[in-house]
Amino acid sequence: MARREDRGLDRDLADLPPDLRWREWLRRIEAVLFASAAPVAREDLARVVGQGASVDLLIEDLAADLEDRPYEVAQVGAGWMLRTRSAYAPAIRAAADVEGQALNLSEFDLAVLAAIAFHQPISRDGLKDIFGREISRDLIGRLAERDLIGTGPREPRRGAPYTFVTTDAFLAAFGMTSLRDLPDPEQLADAGLAGSSKAPDV
């Protein structure tokens, strides 16, 4: 990631007593997470605190500070973000204009996204094998436009077609920390999704 402007930022805060220094570092991390629409990596958070300060411990303390708040610190991929607690989703939908944040994907789009998540890296040919039909470039484009998928390594065969993988934005959109949070085949079967048009047959 490109280095951001941090001239004039007193990272070490040596003139403050230790407890106030820690509190200021905590507030800085909260401010950075609040301002960012995407998960913020550890190395980026480390740029706003003193040398040797533990970002992990600061995140733990911030999570404890926010326990009675309507939002929380969530780890997403290799970074963290602030996320509204799910209990407040109905209130947000009732009062806030969040239509622009909706994924607005069809059931089939979601099925293709699930197939990519479970089988990544996977090419359009691989998706065709799963669904028994060609997956359009437009559909792939819709998923990429919403930053839910990105390109993976090229397949080692003639033509070297691109493969697709999910992104941190995918994890954030579905409330997951990592791909290990994907449901296993047994959970999908229990939910009546395995082998249906709603999810890939895994």
- HEC sequence for 96-121: CCCHHHCCCCCHHHHHHHHHHHHHCC
Q: Which of 131, 141, 78, 124 is nearest to 108 (CA)?
A: 131
pLDDT at 167: 92
pLDDT at 100: 56
Structure tokens at 159: 């033509």
Q: Write the CB contacts of 146 (distance below 8 Å, at least 6 apart in sequence).
A: 103, 105, 169, 173
CA distance 40 to 170: 15
Give the pLDDT band of residue 90 (cuts 50, 70, 90).
confident
Residue length of the chain: 202
> Is it the case that residue 2 has pLDDT exceeding 60?
no
CB-neighbour burial class of residue 117 (10 A; exposed 0-12, middle 13-18, buried 19+): buried
CA distance 162 to 125: 10
| The pTM of the whole model exceeds 0.85 | no
Instruction: Please compute the mean of the pLDDT values over residues 43-52 and round it to a whole number.
Output: 93
pLDDT at 89: 83
pLDDT at 200: 44
CA distance 60 to 52: 16
Q: What angle do CA 1, 32, 113 make, to 5 degrees?
A: 65
Q: Are 152 and 120 in contact (CB under 8 A)?
A: yes
The residue ranking higher by pLDDT, 60 or 7, is: 60
Instruction: Please compute the mean of the pLDDT values over residues 72-97 and round it to a whole number.
Output: 87
Instruction: Please compute the mean of the pLDDT values over residues 151-155 and round it to a whole number.
Output: 91
> Is it the case that residue 199 has pLDDT exceeding 80?
no
Q: Write the CB contacts of 35 (distance below 8 Å, at least 6 apart in sequence).
A: none
Instruction: Please compute the mean of the pLDDT values over residues 37-47 and round it to a whole number.
Output: 92
pLDDT at 106: 87
Summarised one tens digit per residue, pLDDT across range 157-176 is: 888 889 999 998 899 888 88
Mean pLDDT of the chain: 86
Peptide bond into 121 cis (omega under 30): yes
